Amino acid sequence: MQEDQDTIEQTELQYHILLTEERNRQIEQVAEGIREVNSIFKDLGELVNQQGEQLDTVEENVLQMSGNAHEASRELNKAHEYQKRKSKWSCILLVALCVFVLVMVLMVVS
């Protein structure tokens, strides 16, 4: 009877050892899963930082482009005004030249 009791206790002990080992394996699997999730979140954090830097660069480029567009618009307006003044002076010079030629012709004819 004592042997049967010892056998039962031995069997129960082995059963509990197996349960403990299985639980330890499961805990290790959960811990490994947590490490993987932690690694994924670190990678995701790095990607978010990189994307943020890229967005900052895009924003800076857009602001710079806006400033360049305003400057280009001012330069085009200046060029347009210069062109108008040049055309005006060209017309005045042409009229003066015509008057001069006409006066010369009249002087020669008279």
Structure confidence by residue, pLDDT tens digits, 62-105:
999 989 999 999 999 999 999 988 988 999 999 999 999 999 99
CB hemisphere CA count around 21 (13 angstroms): 6
pLDDT at 110 over 80: no
Q: In 3-state terms, what secondary structure has residue 110?
A: coil
Encoding tokens for residue 28? Answer: 């290790």
Distances from the Cα of 44 to the Cα of 37, 71, 110, angstroms: 10, 40, 97
Model pLDDT, residue 31: 97
Q: Which residues of 56-69 are buried (b: 16+ CB within 10 A; e: fewer)?
A: eeeeeeeeeeeeee
Q: Compute, in degrees rounded to 10, the torsion defined by CA atoms 21, 26, 28, 34.
A: -170
User: Residue 68 is which amino acid?
Assistant: N
Model pLDDT, residue 5: 79
pLDDT at 23 over 80: yes
